Chains A and B, each alone.
Chain A
Amino acid sequence: MSDTIELKYEVSTEDFTRAGEASSDVKKKLRQMGVPPEAIRKVAIAMYEGEINMVIHANGGTITVLIDSECIDMTLQDRGPGIPDIEKAMQAGYSTAPDNVRNLGFGAGMGLPNMKKYSDEMKVETELGVGTRVNMKVFIPE
């Protein structure tokens, strides 16, 4: 029997209203696994922001979540244009979201900053024209 569990999600851009389904499912499963509430909160927010980013900017992709009793490890691989200037993208309030998305209340430029804030470790690898891969870790306190 495995001590690690892997959850995989396909994030599609077909239906905007479905964005957030993956993070919602992860939340439910973390609760069932008895993960402490504070860690669930961090995962929920970080992953939700990442998922929305994949839908708004990046033609969707896949999310892989690895969970063991010490860490929740999320990898978000998208099919987007890549990020030309990561430093700029990490600034609070900086956004390249189009107006129609902003009108829905998204695109406030808090996506990446919030992901960084709510994860304990974050790594962004991006290649222009190919996509971006974000790895986030939330550690579970003893």
Chain B
Amino acid sequence: MDKFENSVHLDPDKCKGCINCIKRCPTGAIRVRNGKAVITKQFCIDCGECIRICPHHAKQATYDPLSAIKEYEYTVALPAPSLYGQFNNLEDSNIVLTALKRMGFDDVFEVGAAAEIVSKVSRSYAEAHEEQWPLISTACPSVVKLIRVRFPNLIDHLLPIQAPVELAAAMARDKALKETGLPSEKIGIFFISPCPAKVSACKHPIGIETCEVDGVLAIREVYPKLLPFMKEVAAAPEELATSGKIGVGWGSSGGEAGGLLTDSYLAADGIENVLRVLEDLEDQKFENLEFIELNACNGGCVGGVLAVENPYVAKVKLKKLRKYLPVAGMHVNASEEELRKVEWTQEVEYEPVFKLGNNMKESIQMMSQVEALTKKFPGIDCGSCGAPSCQALAEDIVRGIAKESDCIHILREYIHKLSGEISMLDRE
């Protein structure tokens, strides 16, 4: 198992070796080497920015094909709340849920329903752990990955509670086991996801040992298949929905915080904004804040790269759908002990991946070299060397994975000098 697995891959035939992705990557994880973009897995946080920016569609999200459901005898679909935001004039989520069953799933279990339990557990956790305020939400796997590699001092603030999809998967499996009597391996639990980060999060979960999700399907692949079935069932859908306002709200930014029923929160979305909030939090710029909700995508989960609709339009659609829903749909009768199972069981540890050397002494020496090298470069961050900035190239050189002549400006100077010398020879 590789804890640095990520869910972005490259189609090398489509990659032109341009600099769009290296410039956009918030953790500086991408380099162009030999004309192709390469991701350093340890630095990647699965935010999807490179997928969004790539003009050649060479950066692709990893997820499972729809055909994967055929491998199981009994399948359960776990629709993300953001799925409901993809459709025009959707007034009843039962239409989507019934259509999912028509599409081939044996049962459905709304992630929104599990989200309401997560909200409930989060409320009591926040109340009992004032010393950890502000608690930082952990539902967005990119945010957790980012904190793990870049904000070691904020790890103690992470809300140690499973993401709704993880809980939904566990509950759906229990239900399926009871109802079918089938062995676990014949039951397939499929998350219908707006985001590829959930693919690596399900395969290599952080905070819990295993995730019960067997496959992650993309909203954008399910969407066109679902539309005709939705038309068919619109008049008389089955009563399947169990998620209320709070659960559906998780689909867009501010929804999770809303479920905590407190005013003392901050909700930020978009990876650049997330970074700014975390930097400020590290410098202790906020006081008296109970909760911080962070989503790597603009608009929250509706902004995921696997979604179809414009995130802000999807947000409005979710708002409309939520209007007549009960505050919370699922009536949780779980005991305190059962609810505690929703908490994380594994410690999250700081992964100092950005460290230059093996120990501090070596790192300090390497940093001095980086500083000296950076001064040599023109400082225009053109990206032609394949690194996003002159400083990044200097770091790569010191790490031994690039050379000075990768800088085309240094190379040009060298050629100038060389051609000068040649013309001298000519004259002699």
Which of the 9-residue segments B11-19, B93-101, B127-135, B358-366 touches chain A?
Answer: B358-366
What is the CA–CA distance of A34 and B361 in the complex, to the nearest angstrom? 9
Which of the 9-residue segments B277-285, B325-333, B400-408 touches chain A?
Answer: B277-285
Q: Could you tell me the distance in whole angstroms from the C-beta of B295 to the nearest C-beta in chain A?
A: 22
What is the CA–CA distance of A37 and B349 in the complex, to the nearest angstrom? 12
Which of the 9-residue segments A2-10, A86-94, A95-103, A125-133 touches chain B?
Answer: A2-10
A123 within 8 A of B: no
Which of B283, B368, B395 contacts A23 (CB under 8 A)? Answer: B283
Q: Do B364 and A68 touch (CB < 8 A)?
A: yes
B264 within 8 A of A: no
- Cβ of A28: which chain B residues have Cβ within 8 Å of it? 354
Which of B153, B350, B365, B395 contacts A1 (CB under 8 A)? Answer: B365
Asked if A38 meets B283 with Cβ closer than 8 Å, knowing A33-B364, A33-B367, the reply is no
- Cβ of B395: which chain A residues have Cβ within 8 Å of it? 32
What is the CA–CA distance of A31 and B357 in the complex, to the nearest angstrom? 11
Q: Nearest residue in B to A27 (C-beta to C-beta)?
A: B282
Name the residue in A24, A32, A45 with the highest tally of chain B Cβ atoms < 10 Å from its Cβ: A32
Q: Do B152 and A37 touch (CB < 8 A)?
A: yes
Q: Do A31 and B284 touch (CB < 8 A)?
A: no
- Cβ of B284: which chain A residues have Cβ within 8 Å of it? 45, 114
Identify which of residues 364-419 in chain B touch chain A, using a CB-to-CB cut-off of 8 Å.
364-365, 367-369, 371, 395
Asked if A32 meets B367 with Cβ closer than 8 Å, knowing A37-B152, A40-B153, the reply is yes
Identify which of residues 14-36 in chain A touch chain B, using a CB-to-CB cut-off of 8 Å.
20, 23-24, 27-29, 31-35
Q: Nearest residue in A to B395 (C-beta to C-beta)?
A: A32
B104 within 8 A of A: no
Q: Do A32 and B283 touch (CB < 8 A)?
A: no
Q: Do A33 and B371 touch (CB < 8 A)?
A: no
- Cβ of B359: which chain A residues have Cβ within 8 Å of it? 34
- Cβ of A45: which chain B residues have Cβ within 8 Å of it? 283-284
B322 within 8 A of A: no
Q: Do B367 and A40 touch (CB < 8 A)?
A: no
- Chain A contributes a number of interface residues (CB within 8 A of B) equal to 29
Q: Do B360 and A140 touch (CB < 8 A)?
A: yes
Q: Do A5 and B283 touch (CB < 8 A)?
A: no
Asked if A33 meets B279 with Cβ closer than 8 Å, knowing A1-B365, A45-B284, the reply is no
Asked if A69 meets B283 with Cβ closer than 8 Å, knowing A1-B365, A5-B371, the reply is no
Chain B, residues 316-358, CB within 8 Å of chain A (1/0): the string is 0000000000000000000000000000000000101011110
Q: Could you tell me the distance in whole angstroms from the C-beta of A71 to the nearest C-beta in chain B?
A: 11
- Cβ of A140: which chain B residues have Cβ within 8 Å of it? 360
B23 within 8 A of A: no
- Cβ of A23: which chain B residues have Cβ within 8 Å of it? 283
What is the CA–CA distance of A37 and B352 in the complex, to the nearest angstrom? 10
- Cβ of B173: which chain A residues have Cβ within 8 Å of it? none
B59 within 8 A of A: no
What is the CA–CA distance of A4 and B364 in the complex, to the nearest angstrom? 7
Q: Do A32 and B355 touch (CB < 8 A)?
A: yes
Asked if A34 meets B363 with Cβ closer than 8 Å, knowing A5-B368, A41-B153, the reply is yes
Q: Do B354 and A31 touch (CB < 8 A)?
A: yes
Q: Could you tell me the distance in whole angstroms from the C-beta of A55 to the nearest C-beta in chain B?
A: 14
Q: Do B368 and A33 touch (CB < 8 A)?
A: no
- Cβ of A27: which chain B residues have Cβ within 8 Å of it? 279, 282
Which of A3, A34, A114 contacts B352 (CB under 8 A)? Answer: A34
Q: Do B363 and A2 touch (CB < 8 A)?
A: no
A115 within 8 A of B: no
Chain B, residues 269-281, CB within 8 Å of chain A (1/0): the string is 0000000000100
Q: Could you tell me the distance in whole angstroms from the C-beta of A38 to the nearest C-beta in chain B?
A: 7
Which of B152, B361, B369 contacts A40 (CB under 8 A)? Answer: B152
B150 within 8 A of A: yes
Q: Could you tell me the distance in whole angstroms from the C-beta of B363 to the nearest C-beta in chain A?
A: 4
Q: Nearest residue in A to B357 (C-beta to C-beta)?
A: A34
What is the CA–CA distance of A45 and B285 in the complex, to the nearest angstrom? 9
Q: Do A48 and B356 touch (CB < 8 A)?
A: no
Which of A20, A32, A37, A38 contacts B354 (CB under 8 A)? Answer: A32
Q: Do B364 and A67 touch (CB < 8 A)?
A: yes
Q: Nearest residue in A to B280 (C-beta to C-beta)?
A: A20
What is the CA–CA distance of A40 and B360 in the complex, to the nearest angstrom? 13
A56 within 8 A of B: no
A44 within 8 A of B: yes
Q: Nearest residue in A to B283 (C-beta to C-beta)?
A: A48
Q: Could you tell me the distance in whole angstroms from the C-beta of B177 to the nearest C-beta in chain A?
A: 42
Chain A, residues 39-71, CB within 8 Å of chain B (1/0): the string is 011001100100000000000000000011100
- Cβ of B369: which chain A residues have Cβ within 8 Å of it? 1
Q: Do B368 and A31 touch (CB < 8 A)?
A: no
- Cβ of B355: which chain A residues have Cβ within 8 Å of it? 31-34
What is the CA–CA distance of A37 and B150 in the complex, to the nearest angstrom? 10
Q: Across the A-B interface, give the 3 residue pairs with the lowest CB-CB distance, nearest first.
A: A37-B152, A33-B363, A34-B355
Of the A-B pairs whose beta carbons lie under 8 Å apart in the complex, a sample of 6, sorted by A's number, is A1-B369, A20-B283, A29-B367, A31-B355, A32-B395, A34-B360
Given A1-B365, A31-B355, A114-B284, 15 more pairs with CB closer than 8 A: A2-B364, A3-B364, A3-B365, A5-B371, A7-B371, A31-B150, A31-B352, A31-B354, A32-B363, A33-B355, A33-B356, A37-B153, A38-B153, A41-B282, A69-B360
